[in-house]
Amino acid sequence: MAVIDAGMRSGNLSGENLRERRVTNTIPERGRPLISEPLAVRAALIAIAIGFISLFIVLPLVAVFGQAIAKGYSAYQAAITSSDALSAIRLTVIVAAISVILNLIFGLAAAWTITKFDFPGKTVLITFIDLPFSVSPVVAGLVFVLLFGAQGLLGPWLSDHNIKILFALPGIVLATVFVTFPFVARELIPLMQEQGTAEEEAALSLGASGFATFFRVTLPNIKWALLYGVLLCNARAMGEFGAVSVVSGHIRGQTNTMPLHIEILYNEYQFGAAFAVASLLALLALVTLVLKTLLERKLERKTP
């Protein structure tokens, strides 16, 4: 036994040596990676990845669209053209449009300030920009209730002056702006940091005004990253549920956004209608995904 064992071991050893020599002494074939797993391992890894994606991403998407048209096309059309659904879609688009514009301006200003100037408290500002990522949206919504609600800090003053924030458009916009506010700034800061201020200084010394420098030099250099940030910001603004749910008041036909409308339909066992509206949001996600991929390709290329 011992002899056979030793022989096997030495056989194994020489086999390993041979393989090693082959690896180190030959130039690897073009296109074949140097480090490569056995075929079975690779196949298993790919199968796991595909299985996981199918189960958690593709199947739910198919289910949404399947359920949406399960009762036929006319039912689908009726669900998304009902007056409540249309008002929810309108509100969602309005809220997203306002939030994206506000956060575009804010994100640009914040990124510009952080990357082109040095000032004390810069890291604190960067941390604050990230805050909405780490706070639960429900908490964010509650903060606005505490501020603007009837028992809130500013509530009495607001009702005296007949200004409605909670359970109305301003409240929904505020909550959405809060939740989506890191997207543009986060996308711009690393890029602008990498680009530095040399081109802006060159533009200034060539006689450009601050305004011209921004529109002719800074903006073209960041346009794709800016679009990317806006795209993500928009997707999140349209899909936001938690924060908006707290401040909206769920008034049908008035303060329901699409996600809220879907929830109500679902709770009332109108599954067909719920999935029909949900399919619109899913469609938005798919469009966002395609645009995001295209933009990423643009961003990777250095020359415009």
Partner 1 sequence: MNIDIVNLSKRFGSFTALSDVSLAIRSGELLALLGPSGSGKTTLLRIIAGLDWPDEGEVHFAGQNALNLSPAKRHVGFVFQHYALFRHMTVFENVAFGLRVRPRKERKSESDIKKRVMDLMDFVQIAWLADRYPSQLSGGQRQRVALARALAIEPNVLLLDEPFGALDAKVRKSLRRWLRTLHEELHVTSILVTHDQEEALEVANRVVVMGKGQIQQIGTPEEIYDNPSSPFVFDFIGESIKLPVTIDLEGIRLGSERLAKNGYALPPPGPAQLFVRPHDLAFGDPSAAPLQGNVQGLRRVGSIRYADVLVEFGGQDVIVEASIPPSQNLQVGERVGLTPRRYRVFDAADQAALPAA
Size of the site for partner 1 (CB under 8 A): 19
Residue reference for tokens 């936001």: 240
**With CB under 8 A as the contact rule, which of the stretches 37-45, 172-180, 197-205, 275-283 interacts with partner 1?**
197-205
38 lies in the binding site for partner 1 (CB under 8 A): no
For residue 217, state whether it binds partner 1 (rule: CB under 8 A).
yes
Residue 5 phi, psi (nearest 5): -55, -50
Does position 263 interact with partner 1 (CB under 8 A)? The reply is no
Tell me the two tokens of residue 278: 């949900």
Find tokens 């056979």 and name the residue: 4
For residue 183, the minimal CB distance to partner 1 (Å) is 23
Both tokens of residue 279? Answer: 């399919």
Quickly list H helices, the chain. Answer: 2-25, 39-53, 59-68, 73-81, 83-116, 122-134, 137-148, 155-160, 169-180, 182-195, 198-205, 210-213, 219-239, 242-248, 258-267, 271-300
Residue 126 or 204: which CB sits closer to partner 1? 204
Question: 27: which DSSP letter?
Answer: P
Least Cβ distance, residue 233 to partner 1 (angstroms): 23
Question: Does the protein bind partner 1 through residue 295 (CB under 8 A)?
Answer: no
Q: Which two tokens stand for residue 216?
A: 């002719």
Asked if residue 303 binds partner 1 (CB under 8 A), the reply is yes
Phi and psi dihedrals of 261, rounded to 5? -60, -40
Q: How far is the CB of 296 from partner 1 (least distance, A)?
A: 18
Of 20, 37, 201, 268, which one interacts with partner 1 (CB under 8 A)?
201
Name the minimum Å distance from CB 204 to partner 1: 4
Largest CA distance in the chain: 98
Nearer to partner 1, 212 or 289 (CB): 212
Q: Which is nearer to partner 1, 98 or 203 (CB)?
A: 203
> Given candidates 206, 251, 286, 289, which one binds partner 1 under the rule CB under 8 A?
206
In whole angstroms, the minimum distance from the beta carbon of 220 to partner 1 comes to: 4
209 near partner 1, rule: CB under 8 A: yes
Is 302 an interacting residue with respect to partner 1 (CB under 8 A)?
yes
**In degrees rounded to 5, what are phi and psi of residue 181?**
-75, -15
DSSP-derived secondary structure for 263-277: HHHHHTT-HHHHHHH
In the complex, the smallest distance separating the C-beta of residue 109 from partner 1, rounded to whole angstroms, is 22
Q: CB of 121 within 8 A of CB of 197?
A: no
Find the part of the chain contacting partner 1 (CB under 8 A) among 10-18, 156-164, 207-215, 288-296.
207-215
Q: Which residues contact 264 (CB under 8 A, 6 or more apart)?
A: 250, 252, 256
Both structure tokens of 126: 């960067």
Q: Is 202 in the site for partner 1 (CB under 8 A)?
A: yes
Binding site for partner 1 (CB under 8 A): 198-199, 201-209, 212, 216-217, 220-221, 302-304
